[in-house]
Each structure stands twice: as structure tokens, then as C-alpha cells.
Structure 1
Amino acid sequence: MSQQEITIPTSYITTLLEVVAARGYDTARLLEEAGITPEELEDRRYFSALRYGNLYRRAIAVMHDEWFGMLSGGSIPHGSFRLLSLLMVHARTLRQALLRAWDFGLVCRGFQVSVKLEEEGDRARVRLAPLHRNNREEIEAMILAAQPVMLRTTLAVWQRHWSWLIGSELKTDRTFFTFPRPGQHWEMAQFTTGELVFDAGFNGFEFPASYLDFPVVQTEESLEDFLRLAPYGLIINIESGQSTQARVKVLLNQYLGDSALCADKVAERLNMSVTTLRRHLQGEGTSFQRLKDECRMEAALHFLACSDISNREIAERLGFDEVSVFFRAFKKWTGVTPGQYRAAEPVSASGH
């Protein structure tokens, strides 16, 4: 099945490798372990988001730090992001979810920095702040000394995470950074904001306080699909000039199990009519249904490689009403049944 691959700027990879090298790990070895050759990165502005995701996961594993590339103050144990997200999806509103994120940082080993919520009238402000009083000055100095790309990525990932929680883009009015305006173009972890403010007194952003009353719409079930895309699903900006089909695939991947995510709703998220969406996709040689099938197939291949996820559970996660419908669709996509695919492929212990 031919498909338009979602891409990210190659600078994401070079920045990631710089951080890996600073930690004392062999970057050539990391690339080899991720199946990427140095030649593939030469003179190429964009690179496969999926392969970048595999590289990022490998870096997280060898660095023993699930927050690798983002500002935390320490090494975060594997599984922490899942536990944090579980805590937040059971919050009633975004406000409660943000307060829980701060509380989680207080008890999770490794965190020295988190996001602190402040409210003033109809404005909400979130800033990176030390979690503990006993080393506040030391951590504040560490935040000020952090690389601009790390600060930007950290804020972007939080913003994307919260947008996913409420099922709507959390658009910030102003984003603040303590460092001076960069002298060269920087595109790591782009995100939507009304205004960028440099040489500010803190790192964070402001947005209408009304967002805090938005209900959390995600569940434990939708969380599993969300985690399947982490981390690269959190740093891809669907407004960043990708083709229409790539932007559609980002949305479909983020809400894969939602059978109600039809062409009309996707068009609305992309600020266009469904007629315009279909015309753009047709011009790119594809269709909404074809892209949906591609996303489902890619997810199915991932889940079938995990021994602890049943075929029925996979069908439910992919939004199929009946497991038999999933079986017929998978055979149409690949030419084999899910059972035949599993018999031919090595499996891992878990899909988390």
C-alpha cells in the first residue's frame, strides 16, 4: 500500500544526537541500533517521523530516562509518562489535570522541574518551576542554563499533551522564554502561539483561563493508542506546512480508536470544508478512507507484535465493531490473516 509518509525536520535528529553525545553515548552506535545510516541524514531537510520515533525510543532506553530531551532535572524511570497520563485522564477538567501533574512531579523519582499553574482573572499562566524548596536556587539556575531547544521542546510537549486531553487545540496567546531571540532559524518542536516573548522572566505560556474548565475527554482506552505514538506524536505540528494527507494522518493516529472521527470532523480540525479536504486528498492521489485504512494497518502491525494483546482487543482499539470485520480488513490490507501474521513474526511481551 503506497502512502505519504509523515515527516519531521532532520534537525530533530541532529539535535537529539547532540544531547546523546553530551551524555557520553556513542551516537554512531545509536543510529546503527535504530537502523539509520549517517548518509541518510546528509543534505536532507525532512526525515521519516516513524523512524525518528524509533530512534527517540532507543535513546530513552539507553539513557534510562523517559523524559530524555525534555527538561526534568533528573532521569525519569520508564513508565512514568503512562502513570502520569493515567492520573490525568481521570481528572474532570484540564485545571484538575494540571494540578495533578504538579503533584505527580512531587512524588515521582527524578523530577526536579514541572509545570506550575497560576490564575489571574480571565488569564491562566503555566511556567516551568522547581518542585522542591530545598534546592530551589540550584534548579532555577539549571532552568536558566538549559538549551533553548530543550526548553521549547518541553513546553511544546506539555501543550500537545493537554490539547490531546481536552480533544481541542490549546492555543496560547503568548509563550515566554528566558533566553534571547535565537540568531538563526530553529524548528525543533514547533507549536502554535500568538506571540513569542524572549528575555522574559520565566519559561512558559499564557492562555485564556476558560480552557481550564474544558472537560478531559480521553480515557484509559484512548490513552493506549496515544502512548503508541509517543514521543514523536507529541512533537509533530499538523499546522507546519505538511501535505494535507500527512496532516490528516497525524489526526487519525492521535484518535485512531474513535470511530466517530469522520471526514467532516477532520476537515473541521484542519479549518477547511469537507469538500475542500476531499479535493486536496484527491489531488495528492489518495482519499480519506485510504488514509484511515493505512493508519489502522500500521497500528494493527504494531499491536500484533505484542503477545499480550488479543485480536479482539486490537479490533476494539482500532474502532472495529466486530473482530470478524477486523480480520477481513487486515487480510484485504496484507493478504494474510492476523493469526498468520503473528505466526510469522516474533512478538514482544507488551504493547506499552
Structure 2
Amino acid sequence: MDNLGQICSAALQQYLSHGEARGLDIAAALEAANLDAERIRQPDARIPGVSFQTLLHTLIHQARDPLFGLHTSEFVQPGSYNVMGYIAMSASTLQEALSKVSLYEKLVGDMGTTDTQVTDNQAAIRWQCRYVQQPARQHLIDNVLGSWVRYARWLTGNEKLAPAQVWLEHPRPRAALVEEYQRVFLCEVRFAQPCSALIGPPDLLQQPIRQPDPLLLSTLEAHAIQQLNQLGVETSLGQRVKQCIQDAIGHSLPRKETIAERLGMNVRTLHRRLADEGHNWQKLLDEVRLHRARQLLCQSPAPQAEIAEALGYSDIRSFQRSFKRHTGITPGQFRTRHKSDL
């Protein structure tokens, strides 16, 4: 049997809550999976993936619901994602919240990996499920994508929020089940696709979160990194520095001293460890600025002077020189080429 890693006990609760609401025999399902009822209620407990798969198969068999996984998404809440759920609550936009997923999804478990790809015309949020056995795989995919959409609606306060399309790798079911998928996602659902993903326009990711809190975000991320370390999961320093810069951009010019302190080291150690990974501070700062500049030029009518200030440049000319040095064209030329996206 494949090594299925672990899952945090908090992520089990959606399935158990839905099972209880359906009147399923939860005790029997836990016994079949050799799971202790008291242990799985402990928020920091880690459950073997093999046991989770057995639990899931047992509940699916009891429910006799071909959309069991989709229906469990109704019970998503911040705690379903461990501390990552609260990190998302403290972000400023859906895109910022998603940027944290690749960093911290190991805290939720080893069920799969998330990949967000954004082009000028399309954003694709893909999830690759680690579980290969059916029916667990299909129901996990349905749960994850359904939970993402429901949680995004809650985060933004927009109950009508929906992607343009949902892609699912499994075969197309009968018409009544397709209608249920569409009822949950509020959009076209395509089956037998090459991957499972939410597809939509890039500006969908710019939806603001209801109550962003940069200070709380910083505290929660520090806690998340500590939890990852306790699990023996190493995070790239370069990746963590870029996240810190992204958090600061738009509020103030990121200072290496402040970020080094946030990461628990002095500036000299920061430089040395970045060099060990083949990075340097200025390169990471430039990468974050350039990425954000492209977003703002494509998706916002803000004047270049305003963008330059938001990105921490001393003046508009410094911004224009830096942008052209990295892209070969001016910000104005870049915006003109992408004006159809505004």
C-alpha cells in the first residue's frame, strides 16, 4: 500500500460532522479505521493517512451517496484547515490567502498538493490528490474543491462567488448529479478533465477578504512555521522571505532588518542563509515587486505614480527604470499590451 502520510484531526471533522448529520454510525466507522474517538477530537493530533482512507471508505459505504465528498464541503470552517484557515482569514485578498497554501498545506495533511497558475487571461487553482484508491480519491477531490469555493464565499462575504468553470478528473455522472455539482459551484462543471481545478479570470483572486489583519497574519505565520518545524517539514528561507515581502508590500517598504527579526535571525545570518540557497535580498525584493507591478498594471487603472509608491519605490522614474530593466519594456507599454484585461 502507498504511503499516505498523515492528516490533522481537524480536517476529519467535516466528514464526521456530515456523517453525524446523516445519522451514520460514526462509532463503527472509527472502529473500522482503528481510530480513538477521544484522540481525533484533539486539535493537534495527527492521524495516519491509511486510517483516514479506511474511515472515508466506511463512511462512503454507509452513506450510499455518490456525492458524499461534495456534500461534506458544507461543513467547512476555519478550523478545518488548521492554522492555515485563520491565516487565510487575516489575508487581504483571495490571492494572498492562496499564496499561503503552498507554504502551509502540510499542516492540514498529506492528502495532496495545490498549484496556482495565473496568466493574463486565466487563473487556475489545481489540486493533485495523493490518494489513488477509489472511491476515496473522487470524494476527496470533490470535498477539497467544494470546500475551497464555500470557504472563499465565507471569507469574502459573497455567497454568489463562483469560478467560471470547475474541472474534475472523474467521469461525467448522470444528469441529476451534474445539476447538484452546478448547484454547489454555481458554474459550469466539466468532467473527464486532465486535472481537477477551479478556473476563472485573474481578477477573481483580487476579491478582498472581509477582515484583513496584517499583524495577526504575521503572528499566525510564525506559529505555522513553528508547527512545520515540529513536524520536521523544512520551508525554504527564500520562499519565506518572499512571503514576508509580499505581506509588507502596500503597507510600507520592506526592511531586511524587520523581516530578519520576524524570521528569528539577524541580518547577517539572513544574508548568509539566502546565499546558501542561491538567493539574495535584492533579487527576492525585485521578484516580488515585479510580480505585483504586473498584476496592478493589468488589473488596476491606478496611475503609475501610485503603483510606484505602493511598491516602495522612491519615485515613478525609479519604478519605470526597474520595470524596463527586468522586462525590456516600460510599464506603459506593458499596460497597453494588456489593456483588454482592465
Tell me the TM-score range normalised by the shorter chain: 0.3 to 0.5
Which of the pair is proportionally richer in helix?
2
Q: Which has the larger radius of gyration?
A: 2
Normalised to the residue count of structure 2, the TM-score between the two structures is 0.40
Normalised to the residue count of structure 1, the TM-score between the two structures is 0.39
